[in-house]
Amino acid sequence: MAASFDPGAFGTTARTARPVGTVTRGTTNTNRLRRMDRWIVHALGPRLLRADGPPVAVDLGYGAAPWTAVELAGRLAAVRPDVRTVGIEIEPARVAAALPYARPPGLTFRRGGFEVPLDGADALLIRAANVLRQYEEEAVEAVWQRLCARLAPGGLLVEGTCDEVGRRHVWVALGPEGPRTVTFAARLAGLERPSDLAERLPKALIHHNVPGRPVHAFLADFDRAWAAAAPYGAFGARQRWAAACAALAGRWPLTDSPRRWRQGEVTVAWAALAP
């Protein structure tokens, strides 16, 4: 973390000239990102605890209401009470609407975009959920690079997409060096097949879900493993999902464990799915 970090720099009066990016639709709901947040706390928790000084987390493009930023702040603070969460939005009216929910220095809001205005500090976490879907695929790599450049050593960028009520998610986790993993997460009750998550693939992958591409092959394998694991459904959808993931582990570089699978998640190395 940059030594020049000043909690007061993230106050509600801070301004940013010419934010980089365009306004999103702004759709949001409470608990929409709970699955993503749960994974972030698991993946980043040890680094949060080791951070020198108050770590900084960013909810980039939180939308028309600040619920996701408020929830992220609370979930991270349960691990590291002095974490500083900053909600960043490009639309001034959205920042103004969020100000009553600010609780400085733990939670503040300010205007900005992909430049991630933090007044000299670096972020241990940048979460950009449902932000890049409106962009062309060709723009994604440059945005990733720009956001990764704003990470502190050991930091994490989590960029992905979910449905409106947070039942289906897919996200990419990136470090300062670039993309690391892809995570698929779902509310398993009512899930017909794993490939139903394809509609939530991040922009970098969604147009590559066609025969002959790695992400399509992964989802097809996942569907076959899910079908073969049908007998485990008698013990619940979690057991069926875990059995399907165990079968996948013999063919794909999964980076997590049965403990995470039972949460309705599975994480695979980015290199295996990269276009």
pLDDT at 97 over 70: yes
* pLDDT value for 13: 37
* pLDDT value for 159: 98
Regarding whether 204 and 172 lie in a shared domain, the answer is no
Strand-pair category, 107-111 with 265-269: unpaired
Whether pTM exceeds 0.85: yes
Boundary-marking domain end, from 121, 153, 176:
176
Regarding whether 171 and 194 lie in a shared domain, the answer is no
b/e map 206-241, b = 16+ CB within 10 Å:
bebbeeeebbbbbbebbbebbeebeebeeeebbbbb
* pLDDT value for 18: 83
Residue 89, domain member (yes or no): yes
Boundary-marking domain end, from 176, 195, 214:
176
Boundary-marking domain end, from 176, 199, 215:
176
Residue 191, domain member (yes or no): yes
Q: pLDDT category, 234, cuts 50, 70, 90?
A: very high
Strand-pair category, 56-60 with 123-129: parallel
Residue 99, domain member (yes or no): yes
Q: Which of 8-17, 146-155, 172-181 has the lowest mean pLDDT?
A: 8-17
Residue 111, domain member (yes or no): yes
Range(s) of the domain holding residue 197: 187-275
- Tens of pLDDT, residues 240-257: 999 999 999 999 999 999
The three-class DSSP label of residue 87 is strand
For the chain, give percent helix, strand, coil, nearest 5: 40, 20, 40
The three-class DSSP label of residue 124 is strand
Regarding whether 94 and 209 lie in a shared domain, the answer is no
pLDDT at 212 over 80: yes
Regarding whether 268 and 213 lie in a shared domain, the answer is yes
Arithmetic mean of pLDDT over the chain: 92
Total structural domains in the chain? 2
Q: Give the DSSP letter of residue 18.
A: S
> The domain spanning residue 20 has which CATH number?
3.40.50.150
Regarding whether 72 and 208 lie in a shared domain, the answer is no
Regarding whether 84 and 217 lie in a shared domain, the answer is no
Residue position matching structure tokens 């049965």:
258
Regarding whether 222 and 118 lie in a shared domain, the answer is no
pLDDT at 7 over 80: no
* pLDDT value for 10: 39
pLDDT at 3 over 70: no
The residues pairing with 170 across neighbouring beta strands, listed in sequence order, are 161, 184
Regarding whether 150 and 20 lie in a shared domain, the answer is yes
Q: Give the DSSP letter of residue 187.
A: -
Residue 181, domain member (yes or no): no
Regarding whether 216 and 88 lie in a shared domain, the answer is no
Regarding whether 206 and 72 lie in a shared domain, the answer is no
Residue 182, domain member (yes or no): no
b/e map 100-116, b = 16+ CB within 10 Å:
ebbeebbbbbbbbbbbb
* Mean pLDDT across 58-73: 96
* Mean pLDDT across 218-241: 97
* Token reading at 61: 């493009």
pLDDT at 5 over 60: no
Regarding whether 89 and 119 lie in a shared domain, the answer is yes
* Mean pLDDT across 34-40: 97
The answer to whether 57 and 86 are in contact (CB under 8 A) is yes
The answer to whether 118 and 147 are in contact (CB under 8 A) is no
Regarding whether 89 and 222 lie in a shared domain, the answer is no
* Mean pLDDT across 56-72: 96
Distance, C-alpha 269 to centroid of its chain: 15
